[in-house]
Amino acid sequence: MDLFKQDNAEIIFVALGGIGEIGMNCGLYGFGSKKKRKWLMVDLGISFPDASLPGVDTILPDVSFAKTIKDDILGLIITHGHEDHYGAVLDFAYELDIPVYGTSFLKGMLYAKAEAYQSDTMPQFIQIDSNEDVQLNSDIRFSLIPVSHSIPESNAIFLKSSYGNLVHTGDWKLDKNPVIGTPTSLEQFTDIGAQDILAVISDSTNAWREGVSPSEGEVVGGFEKIFSTSERRVIITQFSSNIARIKSIYLAAQAAGREVIIAGRALARNIQVAQELGVLDPNYRFLSDTAFQDLPAQNVAILCTGSQGESRAQMKKIADKAHPIIKLAQGDLVVFSSRAIPGNEKEIGAIQNSLVKQGVDIVTADNERVHVTGHPFRGEIEQLYQALKPKYVVPAHGEAWHLNQHKIFAEREGYQVAPIAYNGNILKLAPGTPEIIGTVAHGQWCRDGNIRIDTQSASIRERRKLSYNGIVFANIILDHHNEMMAEPDVRMEGIPYDDEFGLDIEEKVIETIEGAIYSIPKSRRKELEKVEEAVRRSIRNEINRLWGKKPLCHVIISKIV
């Protein structure tokens, strides 16, 4: 008898993040009938805020749905240690309280991060090896399948249940020479494909690009060329977790007689973890930035964070001449060894322009082979699908247009593509043909200093208003006859000092306050709150008349009795 009918079972996929965006990946797989459903969470990442969320540190997925089913979540499997896949694990360790499965490198990164941020809650971490068979209950098992990517120990997940088998690719590519780790094995995926794959849930980041992505191995050559031709300092900025890139740069630097200096805590932390675990040769010698002054320019390669233009990272400080130790000079060379994450182009451009004005040369992935992507092109996706022979393709990890390109390509290759299930959509994968059967709570939360807030929070709205329109404080003292005792005390921030005719705006505001007070009969000035409101309105209207914008405004009237 049909297992699904017998148990009234379904296989469900719900993303709480990462579908319809690049970042904040978080997926849930559900197996069994609605009442007895057991779940698996895959990845729990963050993304980064844009200018609409001033002051916010990171963006987290809204996991309120996961909290409602947490007793039935058998585990959280982390595919790899990129922030968009594991960055929110510590944030939710206490509330979700589910075991986290991952490899030793991931564990090293998580613990190092917890130490750096003095996090007091750690999840129960179950360290597993790639290819280890993990039995979660009597019906559900999984194993991590090693794949090439841009960080060590990246994995796809092979999920097995009596209702059907799934492959969640995570971030991957086919790279015959990944510099660190074993290359993605198509033979292994062919063996998996022989076990009846219901669906592959798969990386869409580069699904619009034809051909095959270049290998990390080519980057070594790119850097060898740069190090041997430049006669000055070379500064390289990249993602701090790309250990293979660090190795590529180190090897090329050694060959050119250059010492490698590390600038940036995250970079130093990740190198330490990689060397402790033997992912990176412990004999490689990296220097701290204090070595900068003592080395001749042609014998230095400096690795630093901040390739995305992050305001607090080392690259920005160096470009702003605000770094306490590292100072660049005419003829030095800065290499951007990464691509811009969409949305970061302006900040990166500002840094590059500032460097050029200082006489520093720039090399990017557009001029030299100093970066390769970690995500598969169409030629690689095609080879994976030929190996897996999935019944259905589920595009994941991408913005709407990446997902759509994935769908167009997979259909062209003859695969059945499930309806695009954006964050919060409940996609039923079986029985029957895949369809969206409902939605769950989803959205974004913000990490704001030590506190977690909603994107709709009043404090964010106020910050936006403050940053666009400024603020006015007015302090007025009335005597017991309700007369003003002195000129109102006015403070303004973020508001121009003079109007377009050169008149002092603060003076006009003081006149406006006095006018507003005099216009109210003395007997009615007793109702202080009403007077405050009338003055507040007058100030905002006057500034709007002069400037064309209404600032935030606080009026305090005190009465001496």
Given the complex with Zn ion, which of 82 and 442 has the nearer CB atom? 82
**In the complex, minimum distance from the CB of residue 440 to Zn ion, in angstroms, rounded to a whole number:** 22
**Cα–Cα distance measured from residue 283 to residue 290, given in angstroms and rounded to the nearest whole number:** 20
83 scored as a contact of Zn ion (CB under 5 A): no
Q: Strand 100-102 and strand 125-127: pairing? A: parallel
- Find the angle CA(445)-CA(449)-CA(455) to the nearest 5 degrees: 25
Tell me how many residues contact Zn ion (CB under 5 A).
3
Choose among 244, 165, 201, 218: nearest CA to 384. 201
Given the complex with Zn ion, which of 10 and 84 has the nearer CB atom? 84
Q: Strand 425-430 and strand 435-439: pairing? A: antiparallel
**In the complex, minimum distance from the CB of residue 401 to Zn ion, in angstroms, rounded to a whole number:** 17
Residues numbered 188 to 227 that lie near Zn ion (CB under 5 A) are: none
Given the complex with Zn ion, which of 84 and 448 has the nearer CB atom? 84
Given the complex with Zn ion, which of 178 and 551 has the nearer CB atom? 178
User: Cis peptide leading into 431, omega within 30 of 0?
Assistant: yes
**In the complex, minimum distance from the CB of residue 347 to Zn ion, in angstroms, rounded to a whole number:** 20
Stretch that binds Zn ion, among 76-84, 124-132, 267-275, 458-466 (CB under 5 A): 76-84
Stretch that binds Zn ion, among 80-88, 417-425, 509-517, 540-548 (CB under 5 A): 80-88
Stretch that binds Zn ion, among 75-83, 225-233, 337-345, 538-546 (CB under 5 A): 75-83
289 scored as a contact of Zn ion (CB under 5 A): no
**Cα–Cα distance measured from residue 24 to residue 21, given in angstroms and rounded to the nearest whole number:** 8
Given the complex with Zn ion, which of 82 and 525 has the nearer CB atom? 82
Residues numbered 150 to 189 that lie near Zn ion (CB under 5 A) are: 171
84 scored as a contact of Zn ion (CB under 5 A): yes
**φ, ψ (nearest 5 deg) of residue 41:** -100, 140
Stretch that binds Zn ion, among 84-92, 136-144, 330-338, 525-533 (CB under 5 A): 84-92
**Torsion 107-109-115-117 (CA) sign:** negative
82 scored as a contact of Zn ion (CB under 5 A): yes
**Cα–Cα distance measured from residue 186 to residue 360, given in angstroms and rounded to the nearest whole number:** 44
Stretch that binds Zn ion, among 79-87, 94-102, 310-318, 528-536 (CB under 5 A): 79-87
Stretch that binds Zn ion, among 83-91, 237-245, 292-300, 329-337 (CB under 5 A): 83-91
Give 3-state DSSP helix, strand, coil % of the chain, rounded to 5.
35, 25, 40
The 27-66 site mask, x for binding Zn ion (CB under 5 A), equals: ----------------------------------------
DSSP string, 125-172: EEE--TT--EE-SSS-EEEEEEEB-SSSSEEEEEEEETTEEEEE--S-
**In the complex, minimum distance from the CB of residue 84 to Zn ion, in angstroms, rounded to a whole number:** 4
Given the complex with Zn ion, which of 82 and 247 has the nearer CB atom? 82
Contacts 24+ apart (CB under 8 A), 402-411: 402/22, 402/204, 402/205, 402/207, 402/208, 403/19, 403/20, 403/204, 403/207, 405/204, 405/207, 405/208, 406/202, 406/204, 406/207, 406/381, 409/207, 409/208, 409/378, 409/381, 410/381, 410/385
245 scored as a contact of Zn ion (CB under 5 A): no
Given the complex with Zn ion, which of 171 and 175 has the nearer CB atom? 171
**In the complex, minimum distance from the CB of residue 249 to Zn ion, in angstroms, rounded to a whole number:** 19
Given the complex with Zn ion, which of 82 and 391 has the nearer CB atom? 82
Given the complex with Zn ion, which of 84 and 153 has the nearer CB atom? 84
Given the complex with Zn ion, which of 84 and 380 has the nearer CB atom? 84
Choose among 111, 130, 127, 173: nearest CA to 375. 173
Q: Give the binding site for Zn ion (CB under 5 A).
A: 82, 84, 171
